[in-house]
Chains A and B, each alone.
Chain A
Amino acid sequence: MPFAPSRGHRRRPPGGRLGRVVIGLGEQQTLTVRIAVCVKQIPDPANPGRLDPDTKTLVRDEKLILDESDSYGVEMALQMAEATEGEVVVVSMAPNEEFGGLRTALAMGADRAILVSDEALAGSDALGTAKVLAAAIRRAEPDLILAATESTDGYTGTVPVQVAELLDLPSVTFAKSVSLGDGEVTVLRQTEDGYDEVACPLPAVLSVTAGVVEPRYPSFKGIMAAKNKPADRLGIADLGIEAGEVGWAGARQEIVEVAPVPAREAGEILTDDGSGHERIVAYLEELKIL
């Protein structure tokens, strides 16, 4: 079920944060929702880089792109913003001021970006990343924070709830459907044997599963517009974060070994000549499945 904005939007008094006046609600009221979307810029999964066994760090040769998992949160935020005259802020932490993935999100339609890039962040783990994202998100004062359930490359899946805990906000993870209501969201949350319906007051952090909405492709107009959209480029000092809280020191863990996994033994590969199914039946018989 796609995201469906409900009728009762959050209302703000005139002169509120975004100050947009919406006519047609009986009286003059602003009706806005500001959504922060956490996005990760990752090496193209088709070319994921490698771990250097000596330095035990990820070697990335390619430019970074928007993690496809995050495109769903961006799309959901855009749909909510379009329905409520809201604003979408994309927030990312990346090395070397990498901006390619954020530019994609801006080209899709996000209004502005916050990028945190700092040499002291090298080696940051999920909690360190969450501290940085939480501090950056706090500056944006969003009503709703969206993230993917996990990144494609690191796949820890803990950052959204760590951000929520650091910001003292409720969270609903593994959202497969989200409806925006008046000061709250109703979420269908994936469970082991089905789903729960969860009501959550705003502000809140949601992690959304891939496929929850259909991400749009950036239009040519969007790509051109992205070049002139505002972007805050911050270091950790701007966020009041000490170097020892993040990076290798903050991670308080060390990689002691990087070991290749022995490849599976090569199997029997044959080209179907119309009897391939017979070989499968015979194989299942050998395994006593049949």
Chain B
Amino acid sequence: MGVGTVWVHVEPAPGGVASISLELLAAARRFGDAVEAVCSGGDADAVSAAVGEHGASLLRHLERPAEALVGPLLAASLAAAVAGSDDPPAVILAATTYDGRDVAGRLSARLDTPVITNVTELAVTDGALVGIEPVFGGTTNVHTRFTGAGPHVFLVRPKSFQATSVGGAPAQVVALPAADCGAGGAARVIGSHAEQSTGPKLDEAAVVVSGGRGLGEAGKYEMIEQLAGLLGGAAGASRAIVDAGWVPYSQQVGQTGKVVKPDVYIACGISGATQHLVGMKNSRNIVAVNKDSEAPIFGVADLGIVGDVHQVLPRLIEALQARD
């Protein structure tokens, strides 16, 4: 029935694990005979409660020294655990996150096993797990399966699966022994900095307002922040203005950057390059404002206003302020 035991790389977050980790557990439950979590760092009790509630029976927990990066140490330790296991996993899931890609990439090279990346859907065909990956800006899906020996590593994009609690008990915690990762582990984290942001997180907000090159200059991005604030949403950006240095990379929506799936996405002065569409086209409702009627963003918009953002946005902001 299932494809065997699935190990899920989960990432610690305050009070438990990141939302993407819960999405991976939901995916794993659909086809795994057993679902087990692996985690580097964080509070083992909080992580085991969170992953247990979402269906994991076991948590392999690696105590991570604060100065170690997640990727090299966890990949080496996982590779050793796979090699030494009586019941090695058939499948390992990780997320397309900063650390998830490090873990999957290094693990793949250690185990000499390929990775199927950018998966947004998984299906079982003829007993084999098939990863479905959007290409060409999400206009085409490629279905890929492994032909060699496992474990089969898949990297899954955020917002692809719906996290659902099954009300399970905390997962049994076993220590994942730290393996020697040699020179590969020589980088040391010497400081951590949180960037101040107000309002909801970009990838969790119900409303996202994003700005692009059509804003014309960095100062005009204030309109995007103001509009997002008035709608209780988060402000995002296209790659063009992140590359131009107007806004930090953490606000980028797209293939490179965050995947968002809000109730409403409002694209302002964004033409809609495939790079951008991949990150937002599954939003439930899309509004676009752009002066070029031929802009690809109008191809995915539920409501499109062909007009100048410098005219439309100030009026929109004023209208919303008048309501308060």
Whether B302 and A268, one on each chain, are in contact in the complex, defined by CB atoms closer than 8 angstroms, is: yes
Whether A280 and B302, one on each chain, are in contact in the complex, defined by CB atoms closer than 8 angstroms, is: no
Whether B305 and A280, one on each chain, are in contact in the complex, defined by CB atoms closer than 8 angstroms, is: yes
Partner of A45, one of B72, B140, B273: B273
State whether the Cβ of A4 lies closer than 8 Å to any Cβ in chain B.
no
Per-residue contact bits, chain B 229-252, to A (CB 8 Å; 1 contact, 0 not): 001000000010011110001100
**Selected interface stretch from B41-49, B53-61, B80-88, B177-185:** B177-185
Q: Which residue of A lies closest to B134 (CB)?
A: A261
- In the bound complex, CA of A253 to CA of B148 (Å): 7
Instruction: Collect the chain B residues with CB atoms within 8 Å of residue A125's CB.
Output: 114-115
- In the bound complex, CA of A156 to CA of B148 (Å): 20
Per-residue contact bits, chain B 135-165, to A (CB 8 Å; 1 contact, 0 not): 1101111111111100000010000000000
Per-residue contact bits, chain A 236-274, to B (CB 8 Å; 1 contact, 0 not): 000000000000000111111111110110011111101
Instruction: Collect the chain B residues with CB atoms within 8 Å of residue A277's CB.
Output: 305, 312-313, 315-316, 319
Whether A172 and B187, one on each chain, are in contact in the complex, defined by CB atoms closer than 8 angstroms, is: yes
Instruction: Tell me the smallest distance from the CB of A255 to a CB of chain B, in Å.
Output: 5
State whether the Cβ of A158 lies closer than 8 Å to any Cβ in chain B.
yes
- In the bound complex, CA of A286 to CA of B19 (Å): 29
Whether A171 and B71, one on each chain, are in contact in the complex, defined by CB atoms closer than 8 angstroms, is: yes
Q: Which residue of A lies closest to B98 (CB)?
A: A174
Whether B184 and A199, one on each chain, are in contact in the complex, defined by CB atoms closer than 8 angstroms, is: no
State whether the Cβ of A235 lies closer than 8 Å to any Cβ in chain B.
no
Per-residue contact bits, chain B 83-111, to A (CB 8 Å; 1 contact, 0 not): 00000000000001110011011101110
Instruction: Collect the chain B residues with CB atoms within 8 Å of residue A280's CB.
Output: 266, 287, 289, 303, 305, 312, 316
A192-B98, A270-B304, A281-B319 known; A255-B144 Cβ under 8 A: yes
Interface of A is mostly: mixed
Instruction: Collect the chain A residues with CB atoms within 8 Å of residue B188's CB.
Output: 198-200
Whether B101 and A157, one on each chain, are in contact in the complex, defined by CB atoms closer than 8 angstroms, is: yes
Instruction: Collect the chain A residues with CB atoms within 8 Å of residue B207's CB.
Output: 289
Per-residue contact bits, chain B 284-319, to A (CB 8 Å; 1 contact, 0 not): 011101000100001111111111100111011001
Q: For chains A and B in complex, what number of residue pairs have CB atoms within 8 angstroms?
A: 277
- In the bound complex, CA of A290 to CA of B321 (Å): 12
Partner of B323, one of A126, A267, A290: A290
State whether the Cβ of A210 lies closer than 8 Å to any Cβ in chain B.
yes
State whether the Cβ of B218 lies closer than 8 Å to any Cβ in chain A.
no
Interface size, chain A (Cβ < 8 Å): 82
Q: Which residue of B lies closest to A149 (CB)?
A: B256
Whether B106 and A164, one on each chain, are in contact in the complex, defined by CB atoms closer than 8 angstroms, is: yes
Instruction: Collect the chain A residues with CB atoms within 8 Å of residue B263's CB.
Output: 287, 289
**Selected interface stretch from B29-37, B168-176, B189-197:** B189-197
- In the bound complex, CA of A189 to CA of B136 (Å): 28
Whether A253 and B114, one on each chain, are in contact in the complex, defined by CB atoms closer than 8 angstroms, is: yes
Whether A197 and B320, one on each chain, are in contact in the complex, defined by CB atoms closer than 8 angstroms, is: no
- In the bound complex, CA of A207 to CA of B157 (Å): 19
Partner of A259, one of B110, B143, B186, B190: B143
Whether B115 and A156, one on each chain, are in contact in the complex, defined by CB atoms closer than 8 angstroms, is: yes
Q: Which residue of B lies closest to A288 (CB)?
A: B263
Q: Which residue of A lies closest to B239 (CB)?
A: A210
State whether the Cβ of B264 lies closer than 8 Å to any Cβ in chain A.
yes
Whether A197 and B189, one on each chain, are in contact in the complex, defined by CB atoms closer than 8 angstroms, is: yes
Whether B98 and A259, one on each chain, are in contact in the complex, defined by CB atoms closer than 8 angstroms, is: no
Instruction: Collect the chain A residues with CB atoms within 8 Å of residue B289's CB.
Output: 272, 276, 280
A125-B114, A260-B139, A268-B303 known; A164-B184 Cβ under 8 A: yes
State whether the Cβ of A119 lies closer than 8 Å to any Cβ in chain B.
no
Instruction: Tell me the smallest distance from the CB of A145 to a CB of chain B, in Å.
Output: 13
Whether B187 and A200, one on each chain, are in contact in the complex, defined by CB atoms closer than 8 angstroms, is: yes
Whether B147 and A252, one on each chain, are in contact in the complex, defined by CB atoms closer than 8 angstroms, is: yes
State whether the Cβ of A190 lies closer than 8 Å to any Cβ in chain B.
yes
Q: Which residue of B lies closest to A185 (CB)?
A: B187
State whether the Cβ of B18 lies closer than 8 Å to any Cβ in chain A.
yes
State whether the Cβ of B39 lies closer than 8 Å to any Cβ in chain A.
no
State whether the Cβ of B281 lies closer than 8 Å to any Cβ in chain A.
yes
Partner of A267, one of B69, B104, B191, B303: B303
- In the bound complex, CA of A201 to CA of B188 (Å): 9
Q: Which residue of A lies closest to B233 (CB)?
A: A289
State whether the Cβ of B198 lies closer than 8 Å to any Cβ in chain A.
no
State whether the Cβ of B116 lies closer than 8 Å to any Cβ in chain A.
yes
State whether the Cβ of A196 lies closer than 8 Å to any Cβ in chain B.
yes
What would 27 A/B residue contacts be, using CB atoms closer than 8 Å?
Answer: A48-B136, A125-B115, A126-B108, A127-B114, A152-B255, A156-B155, A158-B101, A158-B105, A158-B115, A165-B106, A168-B183, A169-B183, A174-B98, A198-B187, A204-B187, A210-B249, A252-B147, A253-B146, A256-B145, A258-B141, A261-B141, A269-B298, A270-B306, A271-B293, A272-B312, A280-B266, A290-B231
User: A residues within 8 Å of B by Cβ?
Assistant: 45, 48, 50-51, 69, 125-128, 130, 149-150, 152, 155-162, 164-166, 168-174, 176, 186-187, 189-201, 204, 209-211, 251-261, 263-264, 267-272, 274, 276-281, 283-284, 287, 289-290
Since A174-B98, A194-B193 are in contact, a sample of 17 more A-B pairs with Cβ atoms closer than 8 Å, ordered by chain A residue number, is A126-B117, A127-B115, A130-B109, A162-B105, A170-B183, A194-B192, A197-B192, A197-B193, A198-B189, A200-B188, A209-B249, A253-B145, A256-B145, A270-B305, A271-B293, A277-B315, A280-B305
Q: Which 9 A-B pairs have the closest CB atoms?
A: A272-B307, A252-B148, A158-B105, A161-B105, A165-B109, A197-B191, A257-B143, A200-B187, A277-B316
